[in-house]
Amino acid sequence: MKKYYKYIVSILLLFSSCEEEIKLELAGGAKKIVIEGNIENGKVAEVIITRNSPLSQVIDFSSILIKNAKVYVSDGIITDTLHLDTLLTTSIPFVYTGSKIKGKVGVMYQLTVIVDADTYTASTVIPSPIALDSVWWKPQPPEDTLGYAWGHLTDPKGLGNAYRWFAKRPLKTRIMNGQIVILNRRYLAPIGSTFDDKFIDGKSFDIFYNRSYDPTETLISENESQNERNLYKKSDTIYIKFCTINNETAKFYTTYEAAISSNGNPFASPSTIIGNLQGGALGIWAGYGATYDTIMPRP
Amino acid sequence: MRYYILLIFSLLGCLINTSITAQEKQKKYTISGYVKNADDGEYSIGASVYIKELLKGGSTNQYGFYSITVEEGNYTLVSTYVGYKDFTKQITLNKNLQINIELQSTAINVKEVEVTAERSDKNVSSTIVGSVKLDMEEIKKLPAFLGEVDVMKTVQLLPGVKSAGEGNTGFYVRGGGPDQNLILLDEAVVYNASHLLGFFSVFNGDAIKSINLIKGGMPAQYGGRLASVLDISMKDGNVKKYEAEGGIGVVSSRLTIQGPIKKDTSSFIVSGRRTYIDVLARPFAKPGSSLKKSGAYFYDFNAKASYRLSNKDRLFLSGYFGRDVLNFTDNASQFKLGINWGNGTGVMRWNHLFNDKLFMNVSAILSEYNFSFGAQQTGFEIKLFSGIKDWNGKIDFSYYPAIRHEIKFGINYIFHTLTPTSISAKQNETEFDFGKIKKNNAHEVAIYASDVFDLTDRIKLNAGLRYSYFLQVGPFDRYKKDPTNDQTIDIIHYGTNKKVVDYGGLEPRFSMRFELNPKSSVKASYTYNLQYIHLASLSAVTLPTDTWVSSSELVRPQKGTQYSLGYFRNFKDNTYETSVEVYYKNLKNQIEYKDGSLPGADVNDNADNQFVFGWGEAYGAEFFIKKRVGKFSGWIGYTLSYTKRTFPDLNQGKTFYAKYDRRHDISVVLSYELTPKWSFAAIWVYGTGNAITIPVSYYYIDGNFVTEYGDRNSFRMPAYHRLDLSATYTPNHAKKREQRKQRIIDQYQRTGKDTTTISLSNKWIKNYGSSWNFSIFNAYNRHNPYIIYFSTDGNPYDGTLKIKVRKVFLFPILPSITWNFKF
């Protein structure tokens, strides 16, 4: 929807308006902690903890990572103390992971993060997974070897279900400038992948997604066309992770997607991302009810 | 509240009683009639009519009617109106008299322009605080944006009125929101007064007679909005002869035809406009480019017919219809978009004179605003529309029992049908469920009474009381939400005509003038208003997508209280008018969208579930100096103001400045008539930048850096300022026509005939004229910000990520030429 607003006015602006970059003194905001964590059925919790960064400075990863946090996940009976790990499958390799508690459907999990004597908390539930009825690939005309990944979803009757779609292609390694570069290391959620059943309650229908790309991989140029970058090739293997999420998680990721897609849209209102952390931290503590599928388009 | 009713009625009662007892002592008679323009028979609104010896009288109502009741005797009746020669007549009042006055345009004799224009101390003597009346002739002299004379842009040059910014015709009055202005075109509500997203207003200058803006001390006959009334009257049409006028400009052309249906009894006027930037832009577009199949234009029509059925009955039929159309096709992404929106109004009015003291007007009004939007891309189709439609019936009475009184009372009923955003969408064959098209229905009723009366020779009071009642009825679905997680937990269905919710209340209005001396006065007012329908805006700018919502169980009526105080003084024989006004306003039940709200809020849901509620206050001081007559005329206005809002659920509950809070606002408007051929005008405006919310930090989520926003509206855009210049050249033939007219007048005067009976319809006066308008908009090419936005560019992983601040400005220096004609 938001992008349409842009079209409405941008067409008028074609005739007369001009745009220029300006310099403004930007006041810095308060220092805040940012938490992005999740627990999935059958898996241990993963929590990435960073700091926000002033607009005036170049991002320095070593300064935004928080490596000395105390992180606990509790299911109400036992408490798992998370430890800092390095994983290839998360957006930043430095991630706090659990060991004792593996996610179970329907259980509520409490997250506690302590950084420099400040405590941040949140709780989430892993909703019952709802699997896609089927998944497939088909060419998107006029292309014949490129297309979206499709799935067929039947939403159970009754409002309150929400979903997030992730996909990835097989892990690849490349040598670039003498260095080993790993591609397709994690599941990606394209823009529009988070939705709830407000408009589709109890319906059975097709969904489709583009390939998306990993912002952490943008240095790699494969000389692909726009469609090649956006769509899956017939020769690709597509791994799909389809998750049910609760309403708070849906709210966080839809507002996050709105913020990303309204970047550079002059008509967008300030997109505040609505998180669920208590104690003044930004971010989300999400429960994922995940199911997995694979599409192999080639015959 | 009951206290107010008692107070008003006991005041009214005792005053009328005193006048009745006075009447017994000496016989009283009434002089009444209509005031109109001799040239074309247009009724004059707000013309002064008074008895010179008593310096007492009143002004004509919206239909040009006046009534004065005084003791018997010999008097001089005087009528004055801006741009017209004073009318004077000796009368012997020993019976009720009906005198219809025809005012002669001062343009007939250039020398006489310097003679008094209006009853010159009106500024000082009237009770109304914060009211400004503008004449179309006055507006037409000012520089026009792209040659298009625009009443809304002129209104925004008045102190206390702020434009919403370039590209917005929305305006803010004394800290009120754009939905708090009641905009009336021949009594019909106009919900969206802008064309092309605000570059033009919907009011076609050629079809408009007069404009009256009330920003404080709103009289009781108006209601339903908190901040202001912009009352625009369409021309009735020339009852004397046929006339065509128009203009050909760089972006638009317009044509108006008017004339008698039956001479001196009925008339018509039709007026149309269309812009053609789309047509002009197409040939310059590259073949196959998006511009080739894209365009934006608007058109509108005004039409009116007026009939004099008898001496006591008049009938007016008027209507407006306008549409904006936008098409966009992007060949590369196969994206197609079509949008159109517009207003329509239809008004039927019947004036009836029961006797020379009691005037009645009955109106039946339809007003409508619709917005529709359609887009498609690769098998996905979406359609969206929203709108509001009002059926409105009104009966208004003006009663003139004695010279000290002008009583108005009436009843107003509106049936609102609001269509919240309705969406239908499909992906190839699959229809998405966006629910049924919903229509919300509501009744709004108001009764009012007011009296303008002289308490003493120095104190004039305007006291009024309005009672309004609002009732929302089914069919309606209420989506009940779980307060903790925002999920719909229940849907309550209300059947047709079943009561959903109701609100009501008394709205007392007082204003008074205390005359210090004939040249200066102090005025004060207190008003309390209720507003039952609201405009909710998600975007940073006002867009036609903003939808109107009615009060509901969650949205309580907006309440506004305003106190204002002013000092008015005229100098140098009323050549200069000056005033200082201060105001304080308190606003309750204000609405905003919650943080993080996304469009489509009212689909399978109620829009108000996304609202948060708060309150506001506004205060300020307005300084105004105006030179009204002479070769050199114009005004300077300065406003110092503060506008604040507090919402417990926004900005952590901290008070913030409203988006349109403007500390300083200056308008300078000057016009100079060098010769009858050449006249010049200049406008300079300055305003503190809008308050906006800006990012304060980056943070990392899922591989991307997103921005965190700071305190609401804590940042100021750069100040807005601009200079416009114009020159109007009226070639000789107009002068020749004037000379000819003058000769005829001289002839009349030599033979001792009454010159007031001369009208332009005289066959000896060939009424043809044309003029050229040259204007320069934004003469020193200031790049005023329309929008400031922030975008992140670059890659955080190689240290190139940075935030870019961009300013969009709409108009660089823009010269334009318009040719106006009249025959």
Closest listed residue to residue B759, CA positions, set B353, B263, B390: B263
Packing angle, helices A2-16 and A247-261, rounded to 10: 10
Beta carbons within 10 angstroms of residue B626's beta carbon: 18
With CA atoms as reference, the chain B residue closest to A260 would be B706
| Cα B568 to Cα B552: distance, rounded to the nearest angstrom | 42
DSSP labels, B395-457: EEEEE--STTEEEEEEEEEEEEEEEEEEEEEEETTEEP---SPP-EEEEEEEEEEEEEEESSS
Q: How far apart are the CA of B281 and the nearest CA of chain A, in angstroms?
A: 8
Instruction: Report the pLDDT value the prediction gives residue A49, as an integer from 0 to 100.
Output: 96
B604: nearest CB among A51, A189, A199 = A199
Low-confidence ranges of chain B (pLDDT < 50): 1-2, 5-23, 108-119, 284, 291, 759-766
Instruction: Report the pLDDT value the prediction gives residue B116, as an integer from 0 to 100.
Output: 36
- Would you call B701 and A256 a contact, using CB atoms and an 8 Å cutoff? yes
B-chain residues near A277 (CB < 8 A)? none
Instruction: Report the pLDDT value the prediction gives residue B802, as an integer from 0 to 100.
Output: 77
DSSP labels, B97-141: EE--EEEPBGGGSGGGGGS--S-TTHHHH---SSEEEEEHHHHHT
Instruction: Report the pLDDT value the prediction gives residue B331, as an integer from 0 to 100.
Output: 66
Instruction: Report the pLDDT value the prediction gives residue B577, as an integer from 0 to 100.
Output: 87
With beta carbons less than 8 A apart as the criterion, state whether A240 and A293 touch.
Answer: yes
Instruction: Report the pLDDT value the prediction gives residue B85, as an integer from 0 to 100.
Output: 81
CB contact A127 to B (< 8 Å): no
In tens, the pLDDT along B601-638 reads 566 778 888 889 999 999 999 999 988 777 888 899 99
A-chain residues near B328 (CB < 8 A)? 7, 11
Cα–Cα distances in Å, from B24 out to B19, B53, B71, B276? 9, 22, 11, 67
Instruction: Report the pLDDT value the prediction gives residue B339, as an integer from 0 to 100.
Output: 82
B704: nearest CB among A55, A160, A215 = A215
3-class secondary structure, A139: coil
Instruction: Report the pLDDT value the prediction gives residue B358, as an integer from 0 to 100.
Output: 93
Please, which residues 41-60 of chain B have a Cβ atom closer than 8 Å to chain A? none
Q: How far apart are the CA of B694 and the nearest CA of chain A, in angstroms?
A: 7
- Would you call B486 and A271 a contact, using CB atoms and an 8 Å cutoff? no
A258: nearest CB among B335, B433, B598 = B598
- Would you call B808 and A140 a contact, using CB atoms and an 8 Å cutoff? no
B-chain residues near A216 (CB < 8 A)? 703, 797
Q: How far apart are the CA of A298 and the nearest CA of chain B, in angstroms?
A: 24
In tens, the pLDDT along B652-691 reads 889 999 888 889 999 999 988 888 788 899 999 999 988 8
Please, which residues 15-34 of chain A have a Cβ atom closer than 8 Å to chain B? 15-24, 26-29, 32, 34
| Cα A84 to Cα A63: distance, rounded to the nearest angstrom | 16
Mean pLDDT score across all residues of chain B? 81
- Would you call B598 and A199 a contact, using CB atoms and an 8 Å cutoff? no
With CA atoms as reference, the chain B residue closest to A250 would be B485
CB contact B490 to A (< 8 Å): no
Closest listed residue to residue B359, CA positions, set B409, B322, B405, B310: B409
CB contact B709 to A (< 8 Å): yes
Q: How many CB pairs under 8 A join A and B?
A: 229
In tens, the pLDDT along B804-814 reads 788 877 777 87
Please, which residues 224-243 of chain A have a Cβ atom closer than 8 Å to chain B? none
| Cα A146 to Cα A229: distance, rounded to the nearest angstrom | 10
In chain A the beta strands, taken as DSSP E runs, fall at: 18-21, 33-40, 46-51, 53-54, 70-74, 79-86, 94-97, 108-115, 118-125, 134-137, 146-147, 149-154, 162-168, 172-176, 179-183, 194-196, 204-209, 232-233, 238-245, 282-295
With beta carbons less than 8 A apart as the criterion, state whether B528 and B559 touch.
Answer: yes
| Cα A151 to Cα A290: distance, rounded to the nearest angstrom | 15
- Would you call A28 and B697 a contact, using CB atoms and an 8 Å cutoff? yes
- Would you call A205 and B427 a contact, using CB atoms and an 8 Å cutoff? yes
Cα–Cα distances in Å, from B597 out to A251, B261, B538, B594? 10, 55, 8, 6
Interface test with A, best of B698, B717, B804 (most A CBs within 10 A): B698
- Would you call A274 and B705 a contact, using CB atoms and an 8 Å cutoff? no
3-class secondary structure, B56: strand
Helix (H) or strand (E) holding A229: helix A226-230
Instruction: Report the pLDDT value the prediction gives residue B253, as an integer from 0 to 100.
Output: 85
| Cα B104 to Cα B38: distance, rounded to the nearest angstrom | 5
| Cα B464 to Cα B449: distance, rounded to the nearest angstrom | 6
With CA atoms as reference, the chain A residue closest to B199 would be A12
| Cα B395 to Cα B409: distance, rounded to the nearest angstrom | 9
Q: What type of residue sits at position B69?
A: T
- pLDDT string in tens for chain A (299-residue length): 334 444 444 444 444 457 777 777 766 678 899 999 999 999 999 999 999 988 877 777 778 899 999 999 999 999 999 999 988 888 888 999 999 999 999 999 999 999 999 999 999 999 999 999 999 999 887 788 999 999 999 999 888 899 999 999 998 888 877 778 888 889 999 988 999 887 788 888 889 999 888 877 755 556 677 778 889 999 999 999 999 999 899 999 999 998 888 776 666 667 788 899 999 999 999 999 999 999 998 76
- Would you call B801 and A199 a contact, using CB atoms and an 8 Å cutoff? no
- Would you call A15 and B605 a contact, using CB atoms and an 8 Å cutoff? no
| Cα B8 to Cα B2: distance, rounded to the nearest angstrom | 10
In tens, the pLDDT along B48-97 reads 888 888 877 788 888 888 888 888 888 988 888 877 788 888 988 888 88
Cα B588 to chain centroid distance, Å, stands at 23
Please, which residues 183-222 of chain A have a Cβ atom closer than 8 Å to chain B? 189, 198-201, 203, 205-206, 214-216, 218-219
> ipTM score of the complex?
0.90
A-chain residues near B378 (CB < 8 A)? 140
B704: nearest CB among A64, A206, A260 = A260
Question: To which residue do tokens 């935030």 refer?
Answer: B803
